[in-house]
Amino acid sequence: MLTIDYANCLSSRVGPHGLDPDRLADGGELAKAAAAMTAKLNASRGKGWERWRELHRDPMRAEHVQAVNDAAAKVRAHFKGEPENLVVLGIGGSALGNIALQAALNPATHNLLPSGQRSGPRIFVIDNVDPAYFASVMDFCKTNGGWDKTLFNVISKSGETAETASQFMIVRDILNDALGKNAKHHVVAVTDPAKGTMRQICDFEGYTTMPVPDGVGGRFSVLSPVGLFSAAMTGIDINALLDGAAEMDQRCTKPELGKNPAAMLAALLVELGTRNGKINHVMMPYANNLYLLADWFRQLWAESLGKRVDNTGAVVNTGFTPIKALGTTDQHSQVQLYREGPNDKVLGLLDVTELSEDPANIPSGLGVETLTYLEGSSLAALLAAEKRATEYALVESQRPNFTITFPRVDAHHVGEFIYLWEMVTAYAGLMLNIDAYDQPAVELGKQATFGLMGRKGYSEFKSKVDEGLAETGYRM
C-alpha cells in the first residue's frame, strides 16, 4: 500500500508556510468539508465524466481485460508470436499514460534487449509530429524487423486529432503498399466504440478495435484499453494495475480526511495553493522509473484544474503549475531555487522502500579518505539519505513538501498511484468549484491549426491568425 507522509506541509514544521493541523483534524473545517465532498463523489461515481472511476470494476473491467486479451491473442496469432515492434500513435491523454507505464514497469533498456530477453515487442510511443522524430522511428522499424513484424496501435477517442490522424494516414499508406491485404492485421485501434472519425475508419478498414468508453476523458483513460493494450503486449500485469486502483479506490471513499489520501492531498495542495500562494506543484520522484509518471501527472493536474471560470461562470483563472523534477539529479539543478527562490511551491517527493536492483555495495579499497564514508554502503542507501537530507533542507527553509512511498515499483502500486492522483484531481476540482473534465482552452489552438492547414469551414481562423500575428517589425 502506498503511504503518504504530509507532516512537512503543516505549520508545526514549516511555520506560516504550512497548514494548521487543527483544520485537518477530526471536527476541523477542512475535515468537515472533505467528508461532504466524499459523500458527493461517492454519489456521483460512474456518472457523466466520472465513468473513469468504474474502469477497475466489473462490468467495465472484465469487458476491457477481455477485449485487450482478445486483441493481443489475435495479434500473436497473425504474427505467429510477438511482433518485433509496437508503435503507439497518440497524443496527450492517448499517450502519456502508455509512456508512464512503460517507464515505470519495464526496464529502461527494454528496447535494447534482444527479443528473447524482453517482454514482448520493442515499444515506441510517437506523441508528436516532429518529422525527424517520426522518421527516425519509422526508419528503425523498417530496418529492424520490417513492416511485416511491426504493429501499430493507434489511439484516438475522436479520431480527429490532427497529430494522430496525420501519423495514421502516413502509416496506413506505408502498410497498404508494403503488405496489401494483410495491412489491416498491423493496426489495432483504441477509439470510441460507437461514433467519431476513427470509428468510421476502423469499421471500413476492418481493424481490430478496443473501446475508450463514453464518459472517460483522455487524461483519465490510462486504465482503459488506451493504456492497457500496449502494457499487456509488453508483459505488464494489467490485472495487478487494476487491483491497485481498486485498493486505492477503497481508501478514497472514506469520509474521514485522515484515512482518505486523495482528500488529504487535495486539501493540502488546494489550500496551500489558494491561500498560501503555493501555486507551483513539483512532483519529484527519487527513482528514475517513476519520472514519467510525473509527466502523466502534469497533464492531469494542468488540464483539469487550469480554468478561467468556475461552475457559477465567475472568472477565477485558477490552477496550479505542475513541475516535474528528479531526485537526486535535480538536487544539482533545481533545489537551489526550491529552497531560496520564491516560496511558491509544494514539493511532492516520491520514494521507494525496496528498490528493485541494488548492485554490489560500494567497494572499499580506493583509499581516498574523503570518500571512505561511502565504502560498504550502497547506491540505494545513498539515494535514501539524499532524499531525507533534501526533505530536511526544504523544511529548514520552510518549504512545504510531502512524501509518497512506494513499497516497490510494481503494477499494483502504480495502479494505486494512478487512481490516487485521478481522485486527488476530482477532489481538487470540487474544492475549486470548477469543471475538472473539460479543456475549453485547448480548442482555439486546434481551430487555428485547422484554419492554417486549410480545413474546410475554418478559414476565418486563418485570417484571424494572420491578422493577430501580423508583422510589426519587432524582430531582430
Which CB sits closer to ligand PA5, 164 or 230? 164
Q: Check residue 106 for interaction with ligand PA5 (CB under 6 A).
A: no
Which residue in the set 61, 157, 172, 387 belongs to the binding site for ligand PA5 (CB under 6 A)? 157
Q: Check residue 64 for interaction with ligand PA5 (CB under 6 A).
A: no
DSSP 433: T
* Residue among 89, 84, 184 nearest 143 (CA): 84
Which residue in the set 38, 150, 161, 331 belongs to the binding site for ligand PA5 (CB under 6 A)? 161
Cell of 145: 524487423
Which residue in the set 83, 92, 227, 415 belongs to the binding site for ligand PA5 (CB under 6 A)? 92
Which CB sits closer to ligand PA5, 407 or 440? 440
293-299-303 Cα angle (round to 5) = 155
- To ligand PA5, the closest distance from the beta carbon of 97 in angstroms equals 9
Q: Check residue 164 for interaction with ligand PA5 (CB under 6 A).
A: yes
Measured from the Cβ of residue 45, the count of other Cβ atoms closer than 10 Å reads 16
- To ligand PA5, the closest distance from the beta carbon of 131 in angstroms equals 19
Pairing of strands 315-318, 401-406: unpaired
Which residue in the set 94, 98, 260, 390 belongs to the binding site for ligand PA5 (CB under 6 A)? 94
End-to-end CA distance of the chain: give it in Å, rounded.
Answer: 56
Q: Check residue 158 for interaction with ligand PA5 (CB under 6 A).
A: yes
Catalytic entry in 80, 332, 357, 456: 332
Three-state SS for 108?
coil
**For ligand PA5, which stretch binds (CB under 6 A), given 92-100, 129-137, 273-281, 411-419?**
92-100
**432-458: b or e for each residue (b if 16 or more CB lie within 10 Å)?**
bebebbebeeeeeeebbbbbeeeeeeb
Cα–chain center distance at 350: 15
Q: Check residue 224 for interaction with ligand PA5 (CB under 6 A).
A: no
- Is the preceding omega at residue 150 within 30 degrees of 0, hence cis? no
Residues 418-457 that bind ligand PA5 (CB under 6 A): 439
Residues 320-349 that bind ligand PA5 (CB under 6 A): none
Cell of 425: 484531481
Place of cell 514544521: 13
Residues 377-416 that bind ligand PA5 (CB under 6 A): none
Residues 198-217 that bind ligand PA5 (CB under 6 A): 217
The site that binds ligand PA5 (CB under 6 A) totals a number of residues, namely 14
**301-340: b or e for each residue (b if 16 or more CB lie within 10 Å)?**
bbbbbbbeeeeeeeebebbbebbbbbbbebbeebbeebee
Which CB sits closer to ligand PA5, 401 or 439? 439
HSE of 328 in the Cβ direction (CA atoms, 13 Å)?
12
HSE of 312 in the Cβ direction (CA atoms, 13 Å)?
5
Q: Check residue 97 for interaction with ligand PA5 (CB under 6 A).
A: no
Distance CA 219, CA 217 (A): 6
**For ligand PA5, which stretch binds (CB under 6 A), given 52-60, 90-98, 247-255, 454-462?**
90-98
In the chain, what are the helix, strand and coil shares in percent, each to the nearest 5?
A: 55, 15, 30
Q: Is residue 332 annotated as a catalytic residue, yes or no?
A: yes
Q: Is residue 446 annotated as a catalytic residue, yes or no?
A: yes
Which residue has the closest beta carbon to ligand PA5?
218
**For ligand PA5, which stretch binds (CB under 6 A), given 53-61, 88-96, 237-245, 313-321?**
88-96
Cell of 384: 535514501
Q: Which residues pair with 309 in a beta bridge?
A: 315
Which CB sits closer to ligand PA5, 94 or 289? 94
Q: Check residue 225 for interaction with ligand PA5 (CB under 6 A).
A: no
Which residue in the set 19, 30, 87, 91 belongs to the binding site for ligand PA5 (CB under 6 A)? 91
Cα–chain center distance at 206: 30
Three-state SS for 104?
helix
Q: Check residue 156 for interaction with ligand PA5 (CB under 6 A).
A: yes
Q: Check residue 304 for interaction with ligand PA5 (CB under 6 A).
A: no
**For ligand PA5, which stretch binds (CB under 6 A), given 86-94, 173-181, 240-248, 380-388?**
86-94
Which CB sits closer to ligand PA5, 439 or 447? 439
Q: Is residue 40 annotated as a catalytic residue, yes or no?
A: no
What positions carry a catalytic annotation?
303, 332, 446
Site residues (vs ligand PA5, CB under 6 A): 91-94, 156-158, 161, 164, 217-219, 303, 439
